[in-house]
Every structure is written in structure tokens, then in C-alpha cells.
């Protein structure tokens, strides 16, 4: 199953330069990297990234991803949380998240 990480431009730049990341400030504060499933991405964007531009979507395969836990969060939904650094080798693909008049546009996530 594909799961996703959203990075701001400067977070993504640091990730690509270092090949690893402990995540965004919220991830560091919580002690794990916040990830989303495909159906959760739009709400994550609207709740935590509203009005922001320069965002990058990274896709990961949840199967066999060590350090991954599924934990209840927003409204009891299970969210993927990564309890280790995110490594460049974990990323299957990444792309820009576009901004439109009604918010972020992610397109097809498959």
C-alpha cells in the first residue's frame, strides 16, 4: 500500500541533500514521522498546509517498511507513523503538490 509524506520546500531540499530526514518540526516534537494514506492526504493538506506553496509529496510502500506503526489519530482513523528516520531509499517517487483556487491539487496518487 502506498503511503505519503508531505514536505515543505526547505524540508525536501534538506532531505535530498542529506538522503535522510527526521521529519518536520511537528515530527521532531512528536517523536515520529507523520505519514498519510491516499484518502487522508487531502485532509492533511487542508488542516496542516493550508495556503502554503512549494510542497512536495513523497510516496512510500508501507509493506515491509521497518519502524512503521498504524496508530489511531484524527477521528479514530489509523494513520501510518514512522518511528525512525526517513531514508532516500524509502521513497518510491516524489512530485510537486500544486495549489489551485480551491486549495491543493494532488491528482491521482497511484
CA distance 84 to 20: 10
User: Quick one: pLDDT at residue 53?
Assistant: 92
pLDDT above 90: percentage of residues in the chain: 82
Burial of residue 36 (CB within 10 Å: 0-12, 13-18, 19+) is buried
User: Quick one: pLDDT at residue 99?
Assistant: 78
Going by pLDDT thresholds of 50, 70 and 90, the confidence category of residue 75 is confident
In the chain, what are the domains?
A: 2-105 (3.20.170.20)
DSSP lists the bridge partners of residue 95 as: 57
CB 99 within 8 A of CB 53: yes
Q: Higher model confidence: residue 18 or residue 100?
A: 18
Amino acid at each position: 500500500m502506498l503511503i505519503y509524506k508531505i514536505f515543505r520546500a526547505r524540508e525536501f531540499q534538506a532531505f535530498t541533500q542529506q538522503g535522510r530526514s527526521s521529519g518536520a518540526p511537528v515530527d521532531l516534537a512528536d517523536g515520529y514521522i507523520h505519514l498519510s494514506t491516499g484518502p487522508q492526504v487531502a485532509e492533511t493538506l487542508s488542516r496542516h498546509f493550508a495556503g502554503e506553496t512549494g510542497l512536495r509529496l513523497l510516496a512510500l510502500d508501507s509493506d515491509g517498511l521497518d519502524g512503521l506503526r498504524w496508530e489511531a489519530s484524527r477521528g479514530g482513523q489509523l494513520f501510518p507513523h514512522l518511528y525512525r528516520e526517513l531514508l532516500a531509499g524509502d521513497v518510491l517517487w516524489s512530485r510537486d503538490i500544486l495549489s489551485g483556487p480551491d486549495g491543493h491539487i494532488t491528482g491521482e496518487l497511484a
